[in-house]
Amino acid sequence: MSPRVRIRSLAVAAVAGTALSVALVAPPAMADAGADYSGSLPNGTTWLASVPSDWNGTVMLYSHGYRPSFVPGNPASVAPNDATKALLLERGYALVGSSYAASGWAVPTAVDDQLQSLDAMLDQTGLEPDHVLAYGTSMGGLVTGRIAESASDVIEGAMPTCGLMEGAVDLNNYQLDGSHAIEQLLAGQDLKIEGYASLNEAFATSAALSAAVQEGQKTPEGRARVALAAALFHLSDGVPIAEATKDTAVQQESLYNQLLGTIGFVTPGRFDIEATAGGNATWNVGVDYGKLFAHSEDRALVAELYREAGLDLKADLATLTQTADIAADPGSVETLRASSTLTGDLQMPVVSMHTLDDVLAPVQVEQEYAEDVRAAHDTNLLRQFFVDHVGHCNFTPAEIAAGIEVLQQRVESGHWSASSATVMNRLAASLDDSGSAFVSTQPGEFLGDREGRH
């Protein structure tokens, strides 16, 4: 892509001549010797860049994950962690990333923030890249997915990892289902599980949900219902395939521990999403929880725990259906659809990557994303990879580097190379000794798609 075509986001194109405020850590002349750079945009976004001395001609634009608005600090990031940053620089990639204009649910501005930061970095370094690839983690995976659907004249490929590829509306809806189960089956009282007027309300709900789960864990009946709520949250038993166990007690305890950690993060997080949307954008009116749960990958485990406890699973699911009375604010839904949802209409090749056991971005969202892409007739532009790890965005540097290698090869050659799990593990091993666990699998059905888009 040399000579370089200057990047302009939609916002910048609409306002010609917008100035960018930039502070250099090192002068442009030092780019070919290896240097770090930083700068800022008029809207408060800050950006960082690192250029290795042996630059390979490719720039990687990194989009970071969600950072709560109520937690201090929102630094720019060029990689998900130091080890991955070091490996990518060692392999010659130039790295750039921004803070976004603000913390919280930043998706509405994040694409423009990223593209403007990339433009500023290229202006100051004088680099003329052969290729620019976008990648991101968690919420940044969603941002990267939106970049992949944008008409960028410079970015040629995208790699969302552990991405919230279901979008914000479906994210809120599947998490509402889990909270609804805790409220109705464990808490024994009405709780405010959406529509928070303040952060304190969200924290109070988080504490009440957690207390209900902890109390439920003390009895067989409660443990069965904890497992049901965890299944609606798309949690799994937290054990890699290679170490899988058939012990229902061990599996249930893992679900319990994951559920507690998930509640404490996503309930206050909902406050940030609602603040961006302008109100509640989630609903369960009309949801048949019996039909929904029939598609859960945890249904056999939950059914066994209910049998052991002497409880009627169908009756509890009927209770959830009968008490499903939460309606969304239509304007808030439309706001999130416009700013924080993917269509599947890809404008460039995409490699997506997910761990099999991710408590905050369940692997099943990749099934939803693949359906979106298939409906847009862009399946030939997508490759999905899965690694057998437990944890949110728990990738090794070698796995990230291998995904980038596959994406760059597709960009350069115009076709996908062989990429079986065996091939990917071999490729990762050739790039770094941090290990890899690529597996051949397909995720189960995502439970949070209220709108039946396909």
Residue 408 CA neighbour count, 13 Å, CB half: 19
Position 151 in a domain? yes
**How many whole angstroms separate alpha carbon 438 and alpha carbon 249?**
28
- Whose structure tokens read 């994040």? 110
Residue ending a domain, choose from 335, 359, 385: 335
Residue 241 has a pLDDT of 57
Query: Does 245 share its domain with 390?
Result: no
**Domain shared by 430 and 391, yes or no:** yes
Q: Based on the domain organization, do 262 and 248 belong to the same domain?
A: yes
CA count, 13 A, side-chain hemisphere, 170: 25
Please give the Cα distance from 110 to 9 (Å, whole number): 11
Last residue in a domain, options 335, 361, 385: 335
Residues 249 and 313 in one domain: yes
For 374, the domain range is: 10-165+342-439
**For the chain, how many structural domains are there in total?**
2
94 & 24 share domain: yes
- Kindly list the strands in the beta sheet with 131-137, ordered across the sheet, starting from the edge strand earlier in the chain: 35-40, 46-51, 94-98, 58-63, 131-137, 155-161, 350-357, 382-390, 438-439
Show the tokens assigned to 244.
């899988």
Same-domain pairing of 104 and 20: yes
Considering the domain architecture, whether residues 96 and 176 belong to the same structural domain is answered as no
Cα–Cα distance list, 453 to 328, 360, 364, 374, 447 (Å): 18, 23, 16, 12, 13
The pLDDT value recorded for residue 316 is 99
CA distance 318 to 299: 15
pLDDT given at position 1: 46
pLDDT along the chain (454 residues), means of 10: 37 32 38 80 98 97 98 96 97 98 97 98 96 98 98 93 97 98 95 97 98 98 98 82 74 94 96 97 97 95 97 98 97 96 97 96 96 96 97 97 98 95 98 97 92 61
Is the separation of the CB atoms in 248 and 307 below 8 Å? no
The answer on 272 and 147 residing in a single domain is: no
Cβ–Cβ under 8 Å, residues 49 and 96:
yes
Q: What does the pLDDT read at residue 234? A: 95
* Final residue in a domain of this structure, among 305, 335, 365: 335
Q: Which of 353, 10, 429 is nearest to 163 (CA)?
A: 353
Q: Is there a contact between 225 and 316 (Cβ–Cβ < 8 Å)?
A: yes
The CA-atom distances, in angstroms, between 34 and each of 52, 55, 117, 122 are 4, 8, 19, 14
Residues 377-415: tens digit of each pLDDT: 999 999 999 999 999 999 999 999 999 999 999 999 999
Q: Write the CATH number for 159.
A: 3.40.50.1820
